[in-house]
Amino acid sequence: MNEIQRAKTVLKILNKTYPTITVPLKSRNVFTLLISVLLSAQCTDVNVNNVTKNIYPKYYKPNHFVKLGRKKIERLIKKIGIFRIKAKSIYNLSKLIIEKHNGKVPKTFNELENLPGVGHKTASVVMSQGFGYPAFPIDTHIHRLAQRWGLTNGKNVIETEKDLKKLFPKKNWNKLHLQIIYYGREYCKARDCYGLTCKICTTCYPNRKKPLKTKKA
């Protein structure tokens, strides 16, 4: 089975397992989606949702967070990892969105990635889930799974993103990256499957006997 055949197998199993998919991070609008994705770095989606459910009913626009100021933002998100750094980014990107983008989240990768605390992965999530633009957000989990399933030899998330975009039709990207995340959490866990037990691994590599070690992104 070559890469193209494996990609078709992966897509078939994921579509059967998750015919419909929901966005794991709760948000009120595109701006709060951006904030939630920024907060989710080194933090679980569940933790982010637990914190933001008490924030977004009242604060959901850039000017709300500018008025709050950094210290108050810190207090609101203190249960989240590296909250001081994230609070600084939220405050500064809120100011920039008001000053440069008339209070609206920009709709291009370049403009998003120029916002404080926003990297390519965060921008990709906002473009795909916020604006419906075809994007393939790759984090360390998807990178690990793509290696395990024989879809990439990429040494980092950038190389893996290029490989996956070549293998899968653009129309599938937005849904597919979420399907991979859900499948990894449920069936192909880092310390459970080891590339040996889940349906995708056993279908793509029926003769694999030893646990597969994946390269870190």
Residues annotated catalytic, as ranges:
121, 139
Tokens of 144: 């690990």
Where does the chain show beta strands of DSSP type E?
Answer: none
Distance CA 117, CA 95 (A): 13
Distance CA 184, CA 20 (A): 16
For residues 169-208, b (16+ Cβ closer than 10 Å) or e, as one string?
Answer: eeebbbbbbbbbbebbeebbeeeebbbeebebbeebbeee
Q: Which residues contact 152 (CB under 8 A, 6 or more apart)?
A: 143, 146, 159, 160, 163, 164
CA distances from 205 to 149, 157, 183, 213 (A): 8, 23, 17, 14
CA distances from 128 to 50, 93, 118, 131, 142 (A): 23, 20, 15, 6, 16
